[in-house]
Amino acid sequence: MFGKLLPLVVKNMFRSKTRLIATTGCCLISALIICFLLTAQHSLARVMNSAGDNQNLVMMQKDRY
């Protein structure tokens, strides 16, 4: 069944190049946003886990805020 439909799918994909580029671009942007958000979530979780450790060292310089 899939073998019969594959030529039709490919033919319709390249029928409108503007639509193909727009669809591909939107999928790429969506994937990049998801990767960015997952990376940010992982980084924040790592920071929160290390904040609970007793090995943190905080240094302050005199007369600097």
What pLDDT does 58 receive? 75
pLDDT tens across the length of the chain (65 residues):
778 899 998 899 899 999 999 999 999 999 999 999 999 999 998 888 877 767 767 778 887 76
What pLDDT does 53 receive? 67
- Residues 6 or more apart whose CB falls under 8 angstroms from that of 13 comprise 20
What domain range is 18 assigned to? 2-47
Cα 2 to the center of its chain, rounded Å: 31
* Any domain includes 52: no
Cα distances (angstroms) measured from residue 32 to each of 1, 37, 63: 33, 9, 43
CB 63 within 8 Å of CB 57 = no
pTM equals 0.62
* Any domain includes 64: no
What pLDDT does 65 receive? 64
Number of domains making up the chain: 1
What pLDDT does 19 receive? 93
